[in-house]
Structure 1
Amino acid sequence: MEGRFRTAWAKGSSTRELAEALGSGVAVSLGKDWLNTCIAERVDLIVTGRMPSFEAVSIAMPIDVELDNLSSITAAIGGGPHSELAAHVTAALADAWLVPASLVTVCRNDAEKSEVQDRVRQLAADSGVDSVEILEAGSAGAILDTLDESSLLVVGAPGGSWLQRQFFGPGHRLAVKAPGGALVVRHAPPRAFHAVAQSSLVFGPQMNASEAKRLADAPVVPVAEDGRLVGIVRIAALADHPPEAEVQVAMEPPVSIDATEPAEAADDLRDFLDGGPVPVVASDGRLIGSIL
């Protein structure tokens, strides 16, 4: 069964165990070349013992996590994308280890309660976590009071929300006080390499025009040689050349987005490519694939 995440781990038995749980039993070792491993394996979540500067992929960092006697998993929900990731990580781990999961948040007054309640319930629905608890308190420490000694706390990385400042701000490093340990998660947006199709059509520059027109499944098709993008060809332009002509006679300069750009960057090229596939390349010009 395909997991919610495609995971990788860096150093440590607990990081590997967590990565495999999040990846439904499958995770890869990052090795030294994090970026190329992530691109090759389409990794969307890294489990590592330190919060790195690497920002191409979402991160999960365990703090004093005790997995042997784990009884439940709780996500502390604030605002922003880190909390959304926390909810999905919580659900994935609960599914893997067959333990209860819950989303818990704190509101400071009645004015906040309605908005907070709507957000947490929506996250619960999206992630598949059944249990939701909304605490009225002046401190996020109230969440810790709901945990037992074998409960894992999942919390978003430091950010702008009040709840995250409570956990990580000066004098409020509550994440390290979680009795069963904490898993700090940092969200990164989907990158272009995450969105490439499993297979997409690519022509070689020496292919003849008649064959290219027969195979074409889009108005514009990438052209690659030795694994590198060398151009694009508009199928309509091939009509101006004899059937035996090579694709390269109608080829235009390469157009692409970098593998680490946000996936939505492909939208900027849709019109220019007549709605055809958007080539995605690594920093060395190697063609990774196309976003359809």
Structure 2
Amino acid sequence: MVDWLVHHLAHLTLVCRVHGYAISNLYAHLRDQHSDINSKARNAIVSEYSGLEYRQPAHADFCYGRANPIPAVDGLTVHNGFACGDCGFLTTSWKWFRVHWNKDHKGGVADNKQWSKVQLQTFFTGPKSAVHYFCVTVSEDEAIRVSAQTGRPKCQLVEDIKEQWAYEQKQQEELQQVLADGADKHETTNWLKRAGWRAHFKERDLGEIYVCSRMPGREDDELRRLAAAMDRLFFSRCIDGLKSMPLMTRLLLASPHHQDAHSRPFGPLQEKTSMDR
């Protein structure tokens, strides 16, 4: 047997010391994570360990918090982590501890009485549902090694980065949606609703339309004259017609609310460049 594979009979697990986590499929692990081992040696190792029983420990069997830690399991990476004093939540990320505190304990400043630094281990680092941290105690020599190590195994670090990115991306999308909803409520006037532009553009890609649209350039002489003619024949007449409308009607048209009048009447924009666009 190789010295970097540890079989824990008490936990029915097979742990790889090189990567610091338990193995559920030895052949796949050797093939994917130990490419330096040739096929013959790989098959020999699999055959040698085939008679051993190992499985994924149940989470309920490892409910060890900061009040009842167990000795560190040989071969598993020891992580520096945080334990919640109110509910026993465990994590290796201060950011995720803050997320937990804000969500489950109504936020506020988490002082030292509400959390503590602990040493954590987990048998599996992925998928997320298989990650289950438990508190451990380490010897003095092990503690020195843990404090000197650069961090978690590379695969765990990648998972943490992806998880954090997904969380921040979701937060950003929710913020953008809130801003978009707010803008829609305040910028959609009664005139836009009456004209039907919202329904017309509802299923269309406004970004693509914006990219395709542009003002006529100097070389587009015919297009510029056509645009000027349209302005005179259609838009200018429509704008001039606003002058004949009652003031209250124009105030209501400019408002995003059905019953409330806007402070400024509906009409052309004051900036000529904005109006041209």
Q: TM-score, normalised by structure 2?
A: 0.22
Higher relative contact order (CA 8 A, sep 6+): 1
For the pair shown, the structure with the greater C-alpha radius of gyration is 2
Structure having the larger proportion of residues in strand: 1
Structure having the larger proportion of residues in helix: 2
